[in-house]
Amino acid sequence: MNLIVLLKMVPDTVEELNVASDGKSLDSEYLRFKLNDPDEHALEEALLLKERVGGKVTVVALDAPEVDDVLFMALAKGADRAVKIPADQASLGTVATARMFATFLASGGGQITPDTLVLPGSQAIDDLEGEVAAYLGEALSLPYVGVVSSVSPVNGKVVVLKEFSGGMRGEYEVTLPAVLGIQSAEKPPRYVPVAKVRAVMKSAKIETADIAPPELAKALVVERMYKPEAAGRAQMLEGTPEDIAARIAGLLTERGII
């Protein structure tokens, strides 16, 4: 199979996020970036498919801080080809990003063959304009399913599971080529030792594909960005860990739980 995984860097929300002085964007000074969680699962699912049925895994990303490390990590895990599109991801919205990927895939760079699966992560935490996978399906006129947690090739098609609520999943049969928004892989994403990534950095290359950004960078104009007001703020318990354990045990006794 021709497996194309799209990777996106997102701000790490473990760090504090602040609004920039323009009041309309994130303050980038102290932002730390990490690979979008579902994208890591998309990569894993692609690698699992390659192991099961053979094929080639290509990873593609727009330019963003620390993206080279992530592309090398993907190669170290078993991807065959890594491509960077040198356009600043932060200035592009989802719609523009999807158009750039569509251009890449329609050009010689990507090539949609009859056995192609395009695998972006299901969603990212900053997808104000929607999910890349859905736009991409539309732009490439390919079938699309999102929130996918399992992909099995059967008779030239794939059978996928899409998550609903309450642990319920729906089984769909999808004709190839197709775009699948991956929510989680069938196995936890594999770990790759740093030494292996370092070795790959020396031996492998990241290709670049120059693609001009579309005229309209963002479909939506943000008027204001701000932090939510703490609505019903918790009553904070303070003290040494021992004190706190005692307080919680006390609360549970009061409530008749113990």
Partner 1 sequence: MSAAILVLVEHLKGTLADITFEMLGVGRQIAAAQGGQVHAVLLGKDVNALAARLGAADSVLLADEPNLEQPSAEVIVPLLQQLMAQKQASLVLLGGTNASFGLGGQLSARMKVPFVNFCKGARVEGGSLVLTSQLFGGKILSDVKLADGKGIVSVYPGAFPAEAGRSDKTPPVEKVAVPPGSPKVVFKRFVEPDTSDVDITKQSVLVAVGRGIQSQDNVQLAEELAQSLGGVVCASRPVIDQGWLPLSRQVGKSGMTVKPRLYLAFGISGAPEHWDGMQSSECIISVNTDPKAPIFDGSHYGVVGDAVELIPLLTDRIKAKKG
Ligand X SMILES: Cc1cc2nc3c(=O)[nH]c(=O)nc-3n(C[C@H](O)[C@H](O)[C@H](O)COP(=O)(O)OP(=O)(O)OC[C@H]3O[C@@H](n4cnc5c(N)ncnc54)[C@H](O)[C@@H]3O)c2cc1C
Contact between 116 and ligand X per CB under 6 A: no
Query: By CB under 8 A, is residue 21 in contact with partner 1?
Result: no
Residue 53 contact partner, candidates ligand X, partner 1, none, CB within 5 to 8 A by sort of partner? none
- Closest distance to ligand X from the beta carbon of 235 (Å): 18
Task: Give the one residue of 51, 125, 205, 208 binding partner 1; rule: CB under 8 A.
Answer: 125
CB of 103 to partner 1, least distance (A): 15
Q: Are 182 and 122 in contact (CB under 8 A)?
A: yes
The answer to whether 122 contacts ligand X (rule: CB under 6 A) is yes
The Cα angle at residue 107 between residues 101 and 111, in degrees rounded to 5: 85
Query: Distance between CA 254 and CA 151 in Å, rounded?
Result: 49
Query: x-or-dash pattern for ligand X, window 179-198, by CB under 6 A?
Result: ----x---------------
Q: Single out the residue of 183, 216, 221 nearest to residue 100, CA to CA.
A: 216
Separation CA 203–CA 179 (nearest Å): 31
Name the residue nearer to partner 1 (CB basis): 179 or 211: 179
Site for partner 1 in 194-213 (CB under 8 A): none
> Distance between the two ends of the chain, CA-based, in angstroms?
56
Which positions from 134 through 163 interact with ligand X, judged by CB under 6 A? 147
Residue 253 contact among ligand X, partner 1, none, beta carbon within 5 to 8 Å by kind: partner 1
Instruction: Report, in Å, the least distance between residue 72 CB and partner 1.
Output: 23
Among 17, 20, 53, 106, binds partner 1 (CB under 8 A): 17
Closest separation between CB of residue 134 and partner 1, Å? 3
- Gap between the Cα atoms of 122 and 124, Å rounded: 7
- When asked if residue 226 is in the footprint of partner 1 (CB under 8 A), the reply is yes
Q: Which of 252, 10, 2, 224 is nearest to 132 (CA)?
A: 10
Closest CA to 97 of 164, 10, 188, 190: 10
Residue 30, interface with partner 1 (CB under 8 A)?
no
Q: Which is nearer to partner 1, 86 or 188 (CB)?
A: 188
Q: How far apart are alpha carbons 198 and 33 in whole angstroms?
A: 20
**Amino acid code (one letter) for 258:** I
Binding test (CB under 8 A) with partner 1, winner from 29, 210, 215, 223 = 223
Residues forming contacts to ligand X in the complex (CB under 6 A) are 14, 37, 122-123, 147, 183
